[in-house]
Structure 1
Amino acid sequence: MQTGLDGRTVLVTGGNANIGKAIALAFAAERTNVVVCGRDAAQGRRVCDELPRHGAKDTLWYAADVTDRAQVQALVDAAREKFGGIDVLVNNVGGNVGLDAFAESDPSDWERDIALNITSTLNCTHAVLPGQIERGSGRVINIGSVSGIVGDPLLAVYSAMKGAVHAFTKVLAKEVGRHNITVNAIAPYGTLPEDGERDVSSGSRWHPDGIFARLAATRAEELHSVGRRTLLLRQTAHPSEIAAAAVYLASDAAAFVTGQILSIDGGTQIA
């Protein structure tokens, strides 16, 4: 498939780990300029060192917390200064900070889930859109979750915020379509890092000190209860499969696709 992405500039938030890293590598293979941001500078630089070997024309690593508007604006300004504009925004940052029934949850965890999953998306989109509107073209790809469609027990606020990402996707698609900008979301089910050492950052849920490791050691049965069966032999997605969907949605082949939520879930919703 001819994607038409050669030479375009792609910003991947949280592009230094797991799904985000796979997305950055996939866009590198399309000979794009890849901007990666995150909070773990050492991991971010390692990823950016890999990207040229996969075909990236150029790269930019920028350390930023995308829940902070000022840091997001500085990130976008740096990308524009180097590359002239951002053609594709992938809002990948997200995650959960707890695993509790809502009645027993800590309100401070709600605030962190809200910031990670929807505030980050709003901040980055708001900063990138003016340039795309001015140029009359662009792609916004939000990483949602099947949790935002069906709701996961013990993940009430996370599920609600991913649902908000999906709703934002649809509304924004209606607002900016007249500017030749498409807006879509990808809703993965469970996705495991392909390399547990090289594909995680210090803030990743999959880091040895991250929430999933802690829960696996102390509350394994509850953690297991959140899972759903797929229709396939394999029960989790590969990050590269999410990345392939992102490349498609950014490509010229998807120019007539907007306002969609693409589930990559192995059929869990009909299992």
Structure 2
Amino acid sequence: METGLAGRTVVVTGGNANIGRAIALAFAAEGAVVVVVGRDEAQGRRVCEQLREQGAADVLWHAADVTDRGQVGGMVAAVQGRFGTVDVLVNNVGGNVDLDAFVDSDPATWEQDIAVNITSTLNCTHAVLPGMIAKEGGRIINIGSTSGIVGDPLLAVYSAMKGAVHAFTKVLAKEVGRQGITVNAIAPYGTPPQNPGEEVSTGSRWHPDGVFARLAATRGDEMHSIGRRTLLQRQFAFPAEIGAAAVFLASDAAAFITGQVLSVDGGTQIA
């Protein structure tokens, strides 16, 4: 399939780990210009080398905390200064900082979950939209979660924020469609890295010092309790499958698709 993505500028937040890394690699394989945004510079530069090997037309690493509006503005200005435009924005940054019944949760963790999941998406989208509107074209892809559709116990705020990502996707699609911009979301289920030693950053939930490792060591039964069964032989998605979905939604083939939430979940919602 001809995607039409060769030479287009694609910004992937959290593009230095797991799903974000796989998305960046998928766009590189299409010959896109790929901008990787994250906080772990060493890992980001390693990923950029992999993107070049994969066939990216050009690559840029930009260190930024996307929950900070000032840093996001600096990132977008740097991208526009070098490449002139942002054609595709993938709001991939997200995650949870703990696992608790809501009644037992620490309000300090709410703020972190809100910032990393929805504030980051609002910041980056708000920063790139004027440029997309001016040129009457663009693709915005938000990475949500099946948690935002069905709600996962022990992940109340995370689930709520991913639901907010899905709702924002639909509203924004209504607002900017006439300007030639499509807005869609992908809702993955259970997508661990296939090679944690290569695919995670220091801030990743999958890092050996991250929240998943800590919870698995101390509260493994609780983590297992919120899992859902797929309809397939395997119970987890591969990061590359999320990358393939992102490439499709950004491609010319998906020009008439907007306001949608695409689940990549092995059928967990009907299992």
Q: The TM-score by the shorter chain falls in which range?
A: over 0.9
Q: CA deviation at 1:226?
A: 1.1
> Partner residue of 2:88?
88
Distance between the aligned counterparts of 1:242 and 1:50, measured in 2?
Answer: 18
**Residue-by-residue CA offset, 1:208-266 (whole Å, 9 max, x unaligned):** 00000001100000010110000011000000000000000000000000000000000
SS in 2 for 1:19: helix
Q: CA deviation at 1:140?
A: 0.2
Q: Which runs of 5+ in 1 are unaligned?
A: none
Q: CA deviation at 1:23?
A: 0.3
**Residue-by-residue CA offset, 1:11-52 (whole Å, 9 max, x unaligned):** 000000000000000000000100001010100000001111
> Partner residue of 1:170?
170
> Partner residue of 1:147?
147
> Partner residue of 2:30?
30
SS in 1 for 2:10: strand
Q: CA deviation at 1:194?
A: 1.4
State the aligned residue count: 271
Distance between the aligned counterparts of 1:65 and 1:43, measured in 2?
Answer: 15
Q: Which runs of 5+ in 2 are unaligned?
A: none
Distance between the aligned counterparts of 1:196 and 1:87, measured in 2?
Answer: 30
Amino acid at match of 1:213: A
Amino acid at match of 1:159: S
SS in 2 for 1:118: helix
Q: CA deviation at 1:142?
A: 0.1
> Partner residue of 2:3?
3
**Residue-by-residue CA offset, 1:97-126 (whole Å, 9 max, x unaligned):** 010000000000000000000000000000
Distance between the aligned counterparts of 1:52 and 1:18, measured in 2?
Answer: 18
> Partner residue of 1:186?
186
Moved over 3 A (4+): none
1:221-236 map, 5 Å: 221-236=221-236
SS in 1 for 2:86: coil
Distance between the aligned counterparts of 2:114 and 2:204, measured in 1?
Answer: 17
1:69-148 map, 5 Å: 69-148=69-148
Residue identity (%): 76
Distance between the aligned counterparts of 1:51 and 1:149, measured in 2?
Answer: 32
Superposition CA RMSD, Å: 0.4
TM-score, normalising length: structure 2: 1.00
